[in-house]
Chains A and B, each alone.
Chain A
Amino acid sequence: ELKVEQNPLFLSMQEGKNYTIYCNYSTTSDRLYWYRQDPGKSLESLFVLLSNGAVKQEGRLMASLDTKARLSTLHITAAVHDLSATYFCAVEGASGSRLTFGEGTQLTVNP
Chain B
Amino acid sequence: DTAVSQTPKYLVTQMGNDKSIKCEQNLGHDTMYWYKQDSKKFLKIMFSYNNKELIINETVPNRFSPKSPDKAHLNLHINSLELGDSAVYFCASRGQGARVEAFFGQGTRLTVV
Query: What CA separation (Å) do A100 and B44 show in the bound complex?
Result: 7
Main secondary structure of the interface of B (DSSP, over half): strand
Contacts of B78 in A (CB 8 A): none
B66 at the interface (CB under 8 A from A): no
Q: A45's contact among B33, B98, B101, B107, by CB below 8 Å, is which?
A: B101
- Mark interface residues in A2-28 (1 if CB within 8 Å of B CB, else 0): 000000000000000000000000000
Name B residues whose Cβ lies closer than 8 Å to a Cβ of A: 31, 33, 35, 40-45, 48, 50, 55-56, 90, 92, 97-107
Question: B42 to A100, Cβ gap below 8 A?
Answer: no
With a CB–CB cut-off of 8 A, which chain B residues contact A37? 41
Binds B, one of A59-67, A68-76, A101-109: A101-109
Interchain Cβ contacts under 8 Å between A and B, 20 examples: A31-B98, A33-B101, A41-B107, A42-B104, A43-B104, A44-B104, A45-B101, A45-B102, A90-B102, A92-B99, A96-B97, A96-B99, A97-B48, A97-B50, A98-B48, A98-B56, A99-B102, A101-B43, A101-B44, A104-B42
Complex Cα gap A97–B57 (Å): 12
B residues near A80, Cβ cutoff 8 Å = none
Q: How far is the CA of A88 from the CA of B41 in the complex (A)?
A: 10
Q: How many residues of A contact B (CB 8 A)?
A: 24
Q: Which residues of A contact B (CB under 8 A)?
A: 31, 33, 35, 37, 41-45, 48, 50, 86, 88, 90, 92, 96-101, 103-104, 106
